[in-house]
Amino acid sequence: MASHLTVRPTTDPTTRVAGERAISLVFFGSGAASLIFEVVWLHRCGIVFGNSVWATSVVLSSFMAGLGLGNAFIAYGGHRIRRFVRTYAALEAVVAISGVATTLLLPALAGVFVPLARQFVEVPWLVNLTRLTMAFAALMVPTTAMGATLPVLVGAVSRSQHAFAHALGRLYGWNTLGAVVGVVGTEVVLIARFGVTGSACIAGLLDLGVAAYALRLSRRADDTSNLDQSPGIEQPSRPFAVWRLSMSTALAGAAFMALEVVWFRFLMMFVIPTTLVVSLMLAVVLASIAIGGLAASSWAKRRGDALAYLPVVAVVASSMVVASYTTFRFLTQGAQLTEWYWTIWLTSALTLPTALLSGVLFTLLGAAFKREIAAPARAVGWLALSNTAGAMCGPLVAAFVLLPFLGVERSLWVLATLYAVVGVLTLRDALSGARTVKALVFAAAALVAATLLVRFPFGLMQTSYIARAASAYLGDGSKMIATSEGPSETIFLTEKSWMGKPMYHRLVTNGFSMTGTSLKAKRYMRYFVYWPMLLHEAPLRRVLLICYGVGITADAIKGLKSVESVDVVEVSRDVVAMSDHIYSASAHPLHDPRMRLHLEDGRYYLQTTSTRFDLITGEPPPSGTPGTVNLYTREYFQLIHDRLAEGGIATYWLPIARETGYNTSAVIRAFCDAFDDCSLWNGTPSDLMLVGTRHIKGPVTEATFSAAWNDPVVWPNMREVGFEVPQQVGATFIGDAAYLRAITAGAAPLTDDYPRRLLWSPKVPSLSDPRFVDYYHEVVDADRARVRFEASDFIGRLWPETLASQSVPFFKEQQIINRVLLEGANPLRYIEDLHFLLVETSLRRPPLWALGSDDVQQQIADTGNDGTGLVEYVLGVRALVARNYLAAAGFFAEAERSGLQHVTARPLLTYALCLAGRLDDASRAAKGAAIGGADERHFWSWLHSTFGVGPDVRP
């Protein structure tokens, strides 16, 4: 090999720098391609094997095992390589070709895996063993080639101990910087524009380009000099030292990979978890490692004694784990952050010092191996093999041992201690022959690390971090009643209570409010069951619920006497366990003998079950949550369609969180591609419901449709969430298939190959994009929906004709419900709406909600009195809604006499007297009213113009 590819002291400086740059560029490109492939393969494996924490961990371990196999080949056979650069070029070509082939073949692997998994679907360890075997087999060729590249390339450019550490750190650093570009580029650009397959092809072309350039360098070397010859195999003079180094390297690799899992879990409490956020967090960690590798390279180049500081670096890394966790509380304010730059800042503050030192540590450990193993390629092979073996175990230990049993805080202490152990293990070899001053430096660093470990701030997680993360959900007076740190998420459950009775609960997962038992949550989650109950041709018998949450939908299913079996699929055992704090044993949905819980990924379950269902309903986490997009693609919806029995119905949650900017149009288009008769319904304005059927016929009879209102179990639950009469169901209509295809005509569907269409802006604006507020309101506006309802062929085919015509007037009430659920109760600002509901309708729930109350609060009000006047106020609201106006006025007056200072108490007292015809009393009551803000002025202005009562405050 030419001298410009070999770092030797005698090489011309200009030529040497040019060679270093060329090789660094080659490995930078290799790192970018490798991370593109890794992202692509993990995505494809998630589709085949599922996205449960077990499935993801097994696939990641398979990936790491392949890398380890490549390391092992070089560790034991690197002495046989004669042309390193050509070998490296061949390896990159293998990665390119087999990487693209693996991407193309992985979807077909489902045809092999699914039949096998069906044989023992209820035996998790056999399923996971099958996953591991098949994933390893699928990824073995490209990952083995990847694992061999670093040892081979270091062997190409390093011949001496001095040059070795410099070359290793430089190549390791540039390769990792390439990985940073690969992970961010894949997330932000490649998959969005070119899809999963296209991204793999780009990675393949990049690897082929790297291989071609490396081959060119090798041929240029042939023209000017003999290729470097590897020395014959040399046995280490101290085998025990090699194994001790291997153990140290494995522990360091395991500690860092486990730390990555723990860090990311911790950070998720302070940033909104999305695929972009996870990619940025990973990019920060990789960039920090790269900087550490490059710094170690420069250090080794300038100082020949850098290896002596190996144990010092390890114990300082231990100190940094503790210090970064301790000081992180000064950087957080409590609320979850959404801006990308805050993600980078918080991740850097927590991870950068330790990650940077880990990059240095890797390089110095390599130098220690080189001192024991003369052949550079074999030395790096041993280094990488040991590191990969540890890295393969680290995430598994973190997810299934440390986090569930110790939690984030104690896990950090254990992993910090592990770094200190690495320092002790490497002390003898690193300081052999070193000066006393280096031993003193280690002693000082070790003393600091020991002090920090002994004085570790145990309890900070509960007193500071969880409290801050939960603060955004405690502002309404709620309190935290349970916490859990499991394999896949950190969970806490909050409870809002009054007079010692729970009003509602909220389940917060990784700092994000996922679900709860509030009125809004109950309305749309129960609706997923009640809509198909009303429209299915026969009573529902077999039901599949994908994602359990807090059990609201499961509880609604439990109330249907016709149901014979319910399969509940939930990916997290810890999420399910939280419902034990919400329900009594007798009321717990999962204690119903018809319920069967499957702790698995929903898509995997659909692939492996052969059951046909009358109803499949799903409410997974929002589509932008990591690992969830596979539950919103066209292929997934087609799976749901295919698992429906003839005439079956699917209902699916469509969250409209406008601040996220997710492309809801892509999800609607994907659903409508799978279901010809797709339709969209209003659970709440922020929680829409997609409905699709498998050849449903109609219409049902009016008697069948209305039968639920005579059911002693179902009717009270329907009434609580606002379906007091059958006509209200039709008023939740938004649009049928023709309308949905029209509004998404310019949007491409969300598919397995294009999962980033969820974030990629199409020509048609997203329903959830804040820049298109008018578009959003055009979709959910009840007046426009009424016009579509009257003209819909879908409604004409399914709805009883008389009931359809009777539903039309209820769109006006629906408009008011939309506003209350979207903005909250404000009876003073919207007194016209309240007056219409009370005077023009007989409904009770809409005016109850407009007044800021609900059934749960009303039930609690009957259990006692808190002495503040609030019970009397709540009873006044009840009387007003019951149109018992004099009684309402009496309760409001008593509430004021009890000391209640509520801005609506006096206005509602006066209004109730007006409705009762007691205008003189109303006038006297109005005289004592304080007129403050714009809402109060609007109310008194309206009251004066309507009843002639109260001050005239019109402008």
pLDDT of residue 371: 85
Q: Is the peptide bond before 770 cis (omega within 30 degrees of 0)?
A: no
Which of 157-161, 330-334, 814-818 has the weakest average pLDDT? 157-161
Separation between Cα atoms, residue 150 and residue 168, nearest integer Å: 8
Helix (H) or strand (E) segment spanning residue 787:
helix 782-791
Identify each DSSP E strand in 108-210 by its residue range.
none
DSSP assignment string, 340-392: HHHHHHHHHHHHHHHHHHHHHHHHHHHHHHHHH-SSHHHHHHHHHHHHHHHHH
Question: Is pLDDT above 80 for 23?
Answer: yes
Residue located via tokens 């959404």: 338
Spacing of C-alpha 277 from chain mean position: 9
Which of 137-141, 479-483, 854-858 is most confident? 854-858
Give percent of the chain with pLDDT exceeding 70: 91
DSSP state of 187: I
What confidence tens digit (pLDDT) does each residue in 365-397 have?
998 888 888 888 888 999 999 999 999 999 889
Separation between Cα atoms, residue 619 and residue 549, nearest integer Å: 8
Please answer whether residues 647 and 694 qualify as being in contact, where contact means their C-beta atoms are separated by less than 8 angstroms. Answer: yes
pLDDT of residue 116: 76
pLDDT of residue 431: 65
Separation between Cα atoms, residue 942 and residue 910, nearest integer Å: 12
For 890-906, what is the mean pLDDT? 93
Beta bridge partners of 546: 569, 618
DSSP state of 631: G
Question: Is pLDDT above 80 for 855?
Answer: yes
User: Which pTM was predicted?
Assistant: 0.89
DSSP assignment string, 765-776: PPTT-GGGHHHH
Half-sphere exposure of residue 451: CA atoms within 13 angstroms, side-chain side: 8
Separation between Cα atoms, residue 287 and residue 282, nearest integer Å: 8
What confidence tens digit (pLDDT) does each residue in 568-608 have?
999 889 999 999 999 999 999 999 999 999 988 898 899 88
In one letter, which amino acid is 210?
Answer: V
For 866-893, what is the mean pLDDT? 96
What confidence tens digit (pLDDT) does each residue in 164-222 have?
888 899 999 999 999 999 999 998 899 989 999 999 999 999 999 999 988 888 776 54
Phi, psi (rounded to 5 degrees) for 146:
-60, -45
Please answer whether residues 390 and 257 qualify as being in contact, where contact means their C-beta atoms are separated by less than 8 angstroms. Answer: yes
What confidence tens digit (pLDDT) does each residue in 713-760 have?
999 999 999 999 999 999 999 999 999 999 888 889 999 999 888 764
pLDDT of residue 230: 46
pLDDT of residue 541: 96
Nearest alpha-carbon partner for 339 in 270, 263, 261, 266:
270
Task: Give me the sign of the Cα torsion angle 599, 605, 608, 611.
Answer: positive
What confidence tens digit (pLDDT) does each residue in 228-257 have?
444 444 555 577 788 889 999 999 999 999
Q: How many CB atoms lie within 10 A of CB 905?
A: 20
Sheet holding 512-516, edge to edge: 479-485, 490-498, 501-509, 512-516
Question: Is pLDDT above 90 for 162?
Answer: no
Please answer whether residues 424 and 311 qualify as being in contact, where contact means their C-beta atoms are separated by less than 8 angstroms. Answer: yes
Nearest alpha-carbon partner for 679 in 734, 721, 640:
734
Long-range contacts, stretch 536-539, CB < 8 angstroms, 24+ apart: 536/614, 536/615, 536/647, 536/648, 536/649, 536/696, 537/647, 537/696, 537/697, 537/698, 537/700, 538/614, 538/647
Q: What is the mean pLDDT of the chain?
A: 88
Beta bridge partners of 545: 568, 617
Question: Is pLDDT above 90 for 471?
Answer: no
Question: Is pLDDT above 60 for 659?
Answer: no
Q: Which residue has the higher pLDDT, 641 or 156?
A: 641
pLDDT of residue 232: 45
Give percent of the chain with pLDDT exceeding 90: 60
Question: Is pLDDT above 60 for 514?
Answer: yes
Residue located via tokens 């249907």: 560
